[in-house]
Amino acid sequence: MKKWIPAAAGLVTGLMAATVFFADFSPGPTGEAAKDTANKSNAEKVYVPFGEKDDYYLFASGGHSGQMFIYGVPSMRHIRTVPVFSPDSATGYGFDTHSKEMMGGYTWGDLHHPAFSETDGDYDGKYMFATDVGNSRAAAMNLETFTVRDIINVPNTSGPHCAAFVTQNTEYMFLPTRFAVPIGSEYADLDDYSTKYRGVMSAVTFDQNKEKLNIAYQVALPPWSYDLSDAGKKMSADWAVMTTYNTEEATTNLEINASQADRDFIVLFNWKELEKMVADGQYDDVTGQKMIFPEKHKGGIYLVPVAKSPHGVDVTPDGTRFIASGKLAPAMTVFSFEKAFAAIEAQDFSGERNGIPIINYDSIVEREVNPENALGPLHTQFDDKGMAYTTMFITSEIVKWDPNTGETLDRVPVQYSPGHSVAAEGDTVAPDGKYLVALNKIAKDSYLSVGPSHPESMQLIDISGKMEVIQSAPVNPEPHYAQMIKADKIKTITVYPKDEKNPNATYEQDKTKIVRNGNKVDVYGIAMRSKFIFDSKAKRPDTIEVNEGDHVTIHLTNIDFDQDITHGFAINGYDLNIEVQPGQVNTVEFVADKAGTFPLYCTNFCSALHQEMTGYFLVKPKK
């Protein structure tokens, strides 16, 4: 036997033993980042085991999906997608009568900036508001059911990007516009832009009892683009601020032409004063709206010069300052409300633009803050100590700084190009100072590739100490802004309560019926595990038979008053699908314009015999 064999065998055995005893065969990522001990302890910060729930709800705007995405924080798990401005077959939204009517014939929307209803400047967890830049609408979502209850079309406006922001007791939600159009969106030559076009802002109210949105009045602001806004708090509660760009009034190639002036403006207005002007009749009746023309109906509106093309403007939690984020100017400008009020009182104006007084910049600015090499400041959130967190789009980072001194406190890189960020209750009078989520526009190589089209990316940052990114989560296109609310502020229901007064409701099997009146057929049916009953006395209770051309209305009640037992209702080939949540009564209306035999079935898996939950929709052909 060769001498080296025992030695080699010994070495191999030793290696094998070492592998068996010390190698890590556990599942999970195996890269260098995963081995980092700091990352391991970050993993513990975001892991929410089964049986526990997240601390916060994150409501992320879904951008041009027209939807709202609900996430849990800190797990960053996607919990639900709530359709708002776009139809959604998963929930039957846009198919049933109420939501179809709310859609108003539109099939998409561009949901930008969500805003919670507030009481005393703090989220009250009752409603969520959102605006549609795509088709100029506003929506109100009930947070007991996470369903949209009303959508309003906003006339004279095209693209309420600069919204929604609500006043501190939800008196108003203001919808300033991104695009200027002539009143009534009528035709007007672009050469007449400065005279005929307007950037109309709407003051929208919401009646919580009737769950109805309404336009209280509108303001025909100059034909500029209104970008972002915030309502005042506490001492500034009656006021609101919004940023503008394209005060150049360019009508083409805005990238260049709207970036020429060194200064654009922040519009500062007193909504209490505007409210009073409207009450006093100081408005014109235009297209059925009460329209304030600032050059004619003077008062309540002022301009504040600001470094060019600003994006966000955010009011500090104590309500004493507003901070503009430069976008094209690499600086945040801190203004004092107190000084602004004094300047207005003293008429300390440096001129006028489109009939609106311009407040003397030097009189009210506190400081310009310019963290070293931080480029593209877009939007600012706050923590419990009033410290500011600004997203830097171009340098891909979050900068924490002190509004009192302008001192840079901390910086953290994010991947990549954050637009907005959202801190836990970070735009209220009382931010929580726990988490901040960077809403990154570019995900690039962050996740498993799904081809050239990428998801967006949300990164969770622990802001309780030194800022640290502790989790990344892909998200569908595309969160522009979000709201983060303490979970216990939201009180959902699990089952719709019985409403014996609802004429469309049928709570008992033997009360189901099909009523025919000429060519109108009304079905009062029920869904239950695991059957449909449309007429309990019929030979086949789960069949609906109509004549071609009949106008069919199906009222369906889910009589399973049991958590998470949702039923769906679809008719093959008829392009419709609705949802009935536990205890809910829902209605779908259509014309039976296709003769033939069409199976109907439950689309939302409900029980062991869900597959059997079917029936037939028979349409007799015209003779």
Contacting positions for another protein (CB under 8 A): 528-529, 559-562, 608-609, 612
- State the CB neighbour count (10 A cutoff) for residue 87: 18
Could you tell me the two tokens for 502?
């609802």
Element (H, E) at 15: helix 4-22
* CB of 500 vs another protein, minimal distance in Å: 15
Does residue 164 have a cis bond before it (omega within 30 degrees)? yes
**Closer CB to another protein, residue 238 or residue 560?**
560
Element (H, E) at 22: helix 4-22
**Closer CB to another protein, residue 308 or residue 567?**
567
* CB of 606 vs another protein, minimal distance in Å: 11
**Closer CB to another protein, residue 74 or residue 541?**
541
With beta carbons less than 8 A apart as the criterion, state whether 146 and 82 touch: yes
Could you tell me the two tokens for 167?
């006043």
* CB of 562 vs another protein, minimal distance in Å: 5
β-strands 388-392, 377-382 pairing? antiparallel
* CB of 565 vs another protein, minimal distance in Å: 8
Residues in the chain: 623
If 0-12 CB within 10 Å is exposed, 13-18 middle and 19+ buried, where does residue 362 land? exposed
Indicate left, alpha or beta for 351 from its phi (over 0: left) and psi (-120 to 50: alpha).
Answer: left
With beta carbons less than 8 A apart as the criterion, state whether 602 and 613 touch: yes
**Closer CB to another protein, residue 51 or residue 518?**
51
Beta-carbon contacts of residue 14 (< 8 Å; ≥ 6 apart): none
Could you tell me the two tokens for 254?
């805005």
* CB of 147 vs another protein, minimal distance in Å: 23
* CB of 566 vs another protein, minimal distance in Å: 14
* CB of 558 vs another protein, minimal distance in Å: 11
Measure the CA–CA gap between 578 and 599, rounded to whole angstroms: 15
* CB of 526 vs another protein, minimal distance in Å: 11
**Closer CB to another protein, residue 209 or residue 563?**
563
β-strands 520-528, 551-558 pairing? parallel
**Closer CB to another protein, residue 212 or residue 540?**
540
Measure the CA–CA gap between 467 and 12, rounded to whole angstroms: 47
* CB of 50 vs another protein, minimal distance in Å: 12
What letter would DSSP give residue 191? Answer: G
Please tell me whether residue 338 adopts helix, strand or coil conformation.
helix
**Closer CB to another protein, residue 207 or residue 564?**
564
Element (H, E) at 277: helix 271-279
Measure the CA–CA gap between 175 and 158, rounded to whole angstroms: 10
Please tell me whether residue 137 adopts helix, strand or coil conformation.
strand
Identify residue 497 by its one-letter amino acid code: P
* CB of 80 vs another protein, minimal distance in Å: 20
Angle value at C-alpha 421, between 420 and 423, nearest 5 degrees = 150
